[in-house]
Structure 1
Amino acid sequence: MARALDAVGDRWTLLVVRELLAGPRRYTDLHADLPGVSTDVLAARLKHMEAEGLTARRRQPRPASGHVYELTERGRALLPVLTALATWGAPALGTPRPTDAVRAHWWAVPLHAVLSAELADRMGPVDVALPEGTFHLRLGPGTAGGPAYAEGPAPEGAGLRLELDATACAALADGTRTLAEAVRDGTVRVTGDGELPQALRSA
């Protein structure tokens, strides 16, 4: 445990991992989605993460320019750690304040855990839309080695789309509501024409 905390035990390292679980990101994108981190601290954390074998820095292929940071296999293996922390911390969230910064994809880790458990037979992408933006989750064993989630709708299309807000996300994350209950009480809206959306709407 002590060695693990040496590698990832500060506040910002695991939040950087959360951002990179969605795929490679530029430094400026990371800084924009980590409100409160200084440029010096972010640069130091990224350097530390490279030294620990959690991330790699590579040049983008042309015509793009600059570099991106991405997780290594060891870095991606932290998803269960983030999932456990998100589940443990969910009851402490409370009601969002008007001054709180919110990014839609911050809910990807806890919702990935919830949907993986509640939609155990579901494999493939699920679109999730909040007022702050849309992201997609990839469920099932076929996601091993790739991003568990990414911003925007799934490029190949998703048969299931969930529309909800941060309050509904928090209720799902802390177990106050199951997905079926949230669909019934209207805090989660389901769209899609496949068997699963129809089953959720009629549950």
Structure 2
Amino acid sequence: MPCGPAVSVGGPTITAVPPPKRHPYDQWAPDARALDLVGDKWTLLIVRDLVAGPRRFVELQRVLPGISTEQLRSRLNRMVADGLLTRQRYREVPPRVDYELTERSRELVPVIAELSRWGFTWAWGPPREGEAIDVGAIFRAVPGLFIGSDVRGTVELRVDRRSYCLALRPGAVELTEGTPEDPPDATVAGSEADWVAALGPESLRSALSISGDRSLADVVLDAVAPVSARPSIHAA
């Protein structure tokens, strides 16, 4: 059962090899070439925050606290030049410009998911003083995870009044933001504080409200915050 309209990647033809960076690693190695493109601050987070579909400049500013207007403009321009994003301008008042992932950058989604999983294992902890909290940022890494070859269904994750919908099918996960068009198979709801407790190191899920298919909801929660992946050193 779909959660909402599927997002397709469109735009101009992308060159096979992006233009060279101004400050490259200067190593003839595929990982160094990849880091030339995505190793700058904010780049991977911009990809993560476009997973659910295109966003306007001001929407990216909202989900990327800490980035200045000039930093965001510069990074988006570079990512368009590198073939990681397309930019669509609309003749509207006020002017509207949408940024969307290309096929090239969509292939980074599993990389971001694995980076998130690594972060849960080796870098996770309670929110630090001064850290912005956006539970949706954690959800946006889920489409790159392999949740299971036989898992099907839709799960709505509700944080206060904001909804995120995951459509699961064998080997793939699709994320849409906003209230689902059709009733989901399961809904997990809670306040921002409830979700921080559930996704934190102690994985305290008791405050979350789960309705519908409980087993499906548990599979998603275990995938979003894999407690079993965390080493015992976190208990020290």
TM over 0.5: yes
Aligned to 1:123: 152
For residues 216 and 50 of structure 2, the distance between their equivalents in structure 1, rounded to whole angstroms, comes to: 33
Question: Whose Rg is larger?
Answer: 2
Letter in 1 for 2:150: D
Shift of 1:137: 1.7
Corresponding residue number in structure 1 for 2:67: 37
* Aligned twin of 1:135: 164
Partner residue in 2 for 1:95: 126
Moved more, 134-143 or 77-86: 134-143
Quote the Cα distance in structure 1 between the aligned partners of 2:176 and 2:217.
Answer: 23
Q: CA 1:143 to 1:198, structure 2 compared with 1: closer, same or farther past 3 Å? A: closer
Give me the CA root mean square deviation: 3.0
Deviation at 1:68, TM superposition (A): 0.2
Question: Paired residue for 2:187?
Answer: 161
Contact 1:57 1:68 in 2 (8 A): yes
Contact 2:43 2:75 in 1 (8 A): yes
For residues 143 and 60 of structure 1, the distance between their equivalents in structure 2, rounded to whole angstroms, comes to: 32
- 8 Å contact 1:104–1:132 — kept in the other structure? no
Is the Cα–Cα contact under 8 Å of residues 102 and 132 in structure 1 kept in the other structure? no
Where does residue 137 of structure 2 map in the other structure? 106
Bigger CA drift: 65-74 or 54-63?
Answer: 54-63
The correspondence of residues 45-56 of structure 1 with structure 2, limited to 5 A, is 45-56=75-86
The residue type equivalent to 1:140 in the other structure is R
User: Which residue does 2:112 correspond to in 1?
Assistant: 82
Are positions 1:152 and 2:183 aligned together? no
1:170 equivalent in alignment to 2:200? yes
Q: Distance in 2 between matches of 1:160 and 1:27?
A: 32
Q: Secondary structure at the match of 2:117?
A: helix
The aligned amino acid for 1:20 is: L
Runs of 4+, deviation exceeding 6 Å: 61-64, 198-201
Q: Measure how far apart 1:67 and its partner are.
A: 1.3
Identify, as 1 or 2, the structure richer in helix: 1
Q: CA deviation at 1:199?
A: 7.2
The answer as to 2:209 corresponding to 1:189 is: yes
Judging changes above 3 Å, is the alpha-carbon distance between structure 1 residues 39 and 135 closer, same or farther for their aligned structure 2 residues?
same
Residue 73 (structure 1) shift: 1.1
- Note the C-alpha offset of 1:132: 7.3
Aligned counterparts of 1:199 and 1:139: Cα–Cα separation in 2: 10
Maintained 8 Å contact 1:133/1:152: yes
Q: 1:21 aligns with which of 33, 40, 51?
A: 51
Tell me: CA distance 1:108–1:52, structure 2 relative to 1, closer, same or farther (3 Å).
same
Letter of the aligned partner of 1:107 in structure 2?
Answer: I
- So what's the TM-score if we normalise by structure 2? 0.66
Distance 2:177 2:48 in 1: 12
Q: From the superposition, tell whether residues 77 and 112 of structure 1 become closer, same or farther in structure 2 (CA, over 3 Å).
A: closer
Give per-residue Cα distances to partners, 1:11-38, cap 9 Å, x unaligned: 2000100111110000011011111111
Unaligned stretches of 5+ residues in structure 1: none
